[in-house]
Chain A
Amino acid sequence: MLNSELISKVKPLRLRARLIVEGFLTGLHKSPYHGFSVEFKDHRSYNKGDEIRWIDWKVYARTDRFYVRRFEDETNLMAYILLDNSASMGFVKEKFEYAVNLASAISYLLFLQRDAFGLAVFNEKIETLVPPRTSRVNLSHVMSILDGLKTHGQTDLSSFRVLAERLKKRGLVVFISDMMKEPEEIITGLRMFRYRKHEVIAFHILSPEETKISGRARVFEDMETGERVPFDPVNLQSEYQERLNSHIEHIKKELRKSNIDYEFFLTSEPIELALYRFFKKREKLR
């Protein structure tokens, strides 16, 4: 696995994404395919050379013959990456960078799986929308967009309604955000995709500076609304952390209620490790 610092220094985003993906795939030691494809299709007879893990043992028990499970064609998967570029994502440089890297890694992974993937960059509106494609050109296009993104505006998930309506075919929605917003708004926004039978994965990204505020008392100004609040981190650290944890737990709980996969990423954690952790978990769930 490559050093995560080294990866972050790699300029071309595409290469960076590749390094990340290959890094965590090396860790997995498993086929990259079927990573996101969860749609079961049918069985076929076991042939020599097939992986033993795809043998359906229940069928074997009934028929006394080996059958392997086959999944729906990967090209059938339409994946949308929803990336939050509101001002709060730029709280520290690393935070948005992390989100962009995550988005690019997932794009690259989907590309490797020959899944169609698209990108929607949003703040108070859908700022950029790239329809899902499987082509390499699409990958380049997505990468170039991700590379030039800047944070601004407020987070507003009401535009997801329109977006959800536009996604006709069931697919995968990868939501990447710091979720620094009222939990109900986030949950409502993501549920819109669930109503459309999309599978939704929410990546919650926060920087360590947000989870533990350091320094002396000062007036904190909201990066999105401009609202000011005097706050003493020394005295109120525990209360803040309590609130933050409660905020995260609430989102997590509500999302899981709606069968939305939730994963919390702290930017201090190497991205490939975080992805590895995520896929391992998904693998277990499957």
Chain B
Amino acid sequence: MSFLNPGFLYLLPLVALPFIIHLFAAKVQRRAKFSWVRLLRSAQYEGKKRRRLLEILILILRSLAILSLIMLAARPFRGELFKFRYLVVDFSPSARHDTSKIFSIAEEVKSKGLDVYFLDDRLYEKPVPYDMPAHFKKLGSLEKPAIILSDFQSSNVSDFKDTSFLAVKLRPPRDELKILGVRVQPGITMQGFEASLKVFMKATRRMAVRLNLYREEKLIAGGNFEVNPDSVNQLNLKFIPEKGGIWKAEVLPLDELPEDNVRYFNLTVLERLRVGIIGNNKFIARALNPFRIKNYPVQVTNDIQANFAGFDVIFLTNPDIPLEKLIRVIRYVESGGNLVIFTDKITAPIINALGLNIEPVESAKVVIEKDTLTFPRAIAFGDGKAILIDSKGRKIAVIKPFSKGRLVLVGLPADVSETLFPISPSFVPFVYSLLERLFSVKTNTRVTTAGTPCISLIDSNLTVITPEGEKVTCKDLNFPKVGFYRGEWSFGVNLPPSEAEERFLSDQELDDHFKAHTSLENFENMLRSSRSFTSIFVYFLIFYVLVESLILGWKFRL
């Protein structure tokens, strides 16, 4: 049993009050003279026998009456206490678009909630901007239930599944236009946007829409957009702006256009990382920029020949390059450039030329023949103070610093041909991780797009040791949980791999989901239970008053 107002339980000792008064009153009785007390004693002796039981019953009755009063105030009910503590207000552009009075609604919900739903006095109000689920998590995973004021457009309802909440839909979408939590992440690519749109259209069973793009409420572009669910049509998306900012995309049907069918996409273009590749390795280039998108965060230039200085990092996919080019690479590194070498073998002249001081560990299965160092299945990772280890974490060699630049040596298995590169589906996130960790560049590649290998397959034994000596595996690298879900397009970065097969909820399922995870039902149960208890106590108090009146009437012969 729980209580809506448990504070009143501190009054429980008052239950003993009738007994205390009875005992106390007996001790402090006033004195009076009487002519012959023998008669009184005899009457008392006679009466006591008959009245003792009645007296005790009355005292118990009075105690129970006090208990009833306390319980009426404390409001018991069956089950656990359910109090809303948070009022989460979705302040995303979509939520506030046509609801400029969102805070007044919030106030209304709050005041209603305080009366109707027993909101905790310590109610927190926190406007949640774009990334509502992330903020929602920041609220401390909400041990206490929350009222969420949102249009539930940019958030998948499953983000809230671990929290009891009362959903207040600001603007319930029409059934035929229900948006099922498709999220578009910062840094979305054109393909990503298109895919998102496609998912939306599939969900709303629309094959053609009109897409209007606004910037700060000003229409800057628009056009018809037809989608074949099985293909990607990029033609009509050329007007996706190169600059970042918050853009409103109106996805409109061609025939009849409902006014409330507006979605917002955050199309933020980020700082780009300029990557040059020596060796014209198309697989590396594909991994870094799968669709060779011009405005992709990682801008790749293949087979650079001359100006290394224009690149943030240079990928050397084949160290067996002419000496002249090697000298330029060395100068680039010495002047602060970043070099990543992908290779399965490295020759002594290159090692010497790069100034690497590689000391192979005897136990390591590093094959050295004819001045060539061939790695077993291993990768290397370092910035001049690295330890070269193999895939099982065994130390292969120690690479000593040679310059102020940074160098990463990625050892590839010797038996892998170039055509099969990249051999591991985890290669791309690994490369991005390298870029982030080594070059302090925010690649912001948390969202991948079509064709990106699924991170759920990252369970290889890639292990690296950081310059600080920390041993990390790919699993620990906090790769984004991105999804390429069996042919379905999805951009929900927070969808765990285990739910890769998660499909969008049908209307009924959505309702069921809300029912299952909102507190209304629990709350109604709680109130119903509390009401039934209240009735019991009220009936008892009526009974008590009647009994007490009868006793008084009998005593004073009213």
Contacts and interface: CB of A to CB of B under 8 A. Distances in A.
Interface stretch (A71-79, A113-121, A162-170, A234-242): A234-242
A181 B39 CA distance: 10
A200 B32 CA distance: 34
B29 A91 contact: no
A113 B517 CA distance: 109
B29 A230 contact: yes
A240 B32 contact: no
A243 B43 contact: yes
Contact of A210 (B35, B44, B46): B35
B273 to A, nearest CB: 94
Interface in A199-246: 210, 213, 215-225, 227-231, 234-236, 239-240, 242-244
B34 A244 contact: no
Nearest to A247: B39
A178 interface: yes
Nearest to A182: B38
Contacts of B47: 235-236, 239
Contacts of A182: 38
B41 interface: yes
A231 B47 CA distance: 10
A230 B28 CA distance: 11
Contact of A223 (B33, B43, B51, B55): B33
A220 B40 contact: yes
Contacts of B44: 229-231, 236, 239
A218 B25 CA distance: 9
A88 B26 CA distance: 26
B555 interface: yes
A243 B41 CA distance: 10
B46 A227 contact: no
B33 A91 contact: yes
A265 to B, nearest CB: 15
A176 B30 CA distance: 32
A266 interface: no
A222 B31 CA distance: 11
Interface residues of A, number: 34
A270 B29 CA distance: 35
Contacts, number: 93
Contacts of A218: 29-32
A210 B37 CA distance: 11
Nearest to A87: B35
Contact of B555 (A91, A213, A235, A240): A235
A180 interface: yes
A244 B39 contact: yes
Contact of B36 (A215, A222, A234): A222
B31 to A, nearest CB: 5
Contacts of B25: 217
A221 B32 contact: yes
B58 to A, nearest CB: 10
Contact of B32 (A219, A242, A243, A244): A219
A220 B33 contact: yes
Contacts of B231: none
Contacts of B46: 239, 242-243
Contacts of B31: 218-221, 228
A221 B40 contact: no
A240 B37 contact: no
A239 B40 CA distance: 9
B42 interface: yes
Given A217-B29, A243-B43, A228 B37 contact: yes
A151 B145 CA distance: 82
Interface centre among A210, A218, A242, A243, by most B CB within 10 Å?
A243
Contact of A231 (B35, B43, B51, B556): B43
Nearest to B555: A234
B35 A180 contact: yes
Nearest to A155: B36
Contacts of B33: 91, 220-221, 223
A229 B40 contact: yes
B43 A234 contact: no
Interface in A163-190: 178, 180-182
Contacts of A234: 555-556
B351 to A, nearest CB: 110
A184 to B, nearest CB: 13
Interface centre among B35, B38, B39, B42, by most A CB within 10 Å?
B35
Contacts of B40: 213, 220, 229, 231, 236, 240
Nearest to B41: A229
Nearest to B26: A230
A229 B37 contact: yes
Interface in B210-242: none
Contact of B42 (A221, A228, A243): A243
Nearest to A236: B47
Given A230-B26, A235-B51, A88 B43 contact: no
Contacts of B34: 91, 210, 213, 220-223
Contacts of B556: 234
B43 A236 contact: yes
A178 B43 CA distance: 19
Contacts of B42: 243
A222 B47 CA distance: 20
A225 B33 CA distance: 11
A91 B33 CA distance: 7
A178 B39 CA distance: 13
A239 B35 contact: no
Interface centre among B25, B32, B36, B46, by most A CB within 10 Å?
B36
A30 B528 CA distance: 86
A221 B30 CA distance: 11
B35 A219 contact: no
Contacts of A225: 37
Nearest to B45: A239
Nearest to B46: A239
A239 B43 contact: yes
A89 B36 CA distance: 10
Interface in B353-371: none
A150 to B, nearest CB: 15
A229 B35 CA distance: 12
Contacts of A180: 35-36, 39
B555 A221 contact: no
Given A218-B29, A219-B30, A235-B51, A240 B35 contact: no
Interface centre among A218, A228, A236, by most B CB within 10 Å?
A236
Contacts of A219: 29-32
B43 A240 contact: yes
Please list the 4 inter-chain residue pairs (A to B) with the smallest Cβ-Cβ separation, ordered nearest first. A180-B36, A88-B35, A240-B43, A239-B43
Given A230-B26, A231-B40, 8 more contacts: A210-B34, A219-B31, A219-B32, A221-B33, A224-B36, A229-B41, A235-B51, A240-B39
Interface of B: 25-26, 29-44, 46-47, 51, 55, 555-556
10 contacts: A218-B30, A218-B31, A219-B30, A219-B31, A220-B33, A221-B37, A222-B38, A225-B37, A236-B51, A240-B39
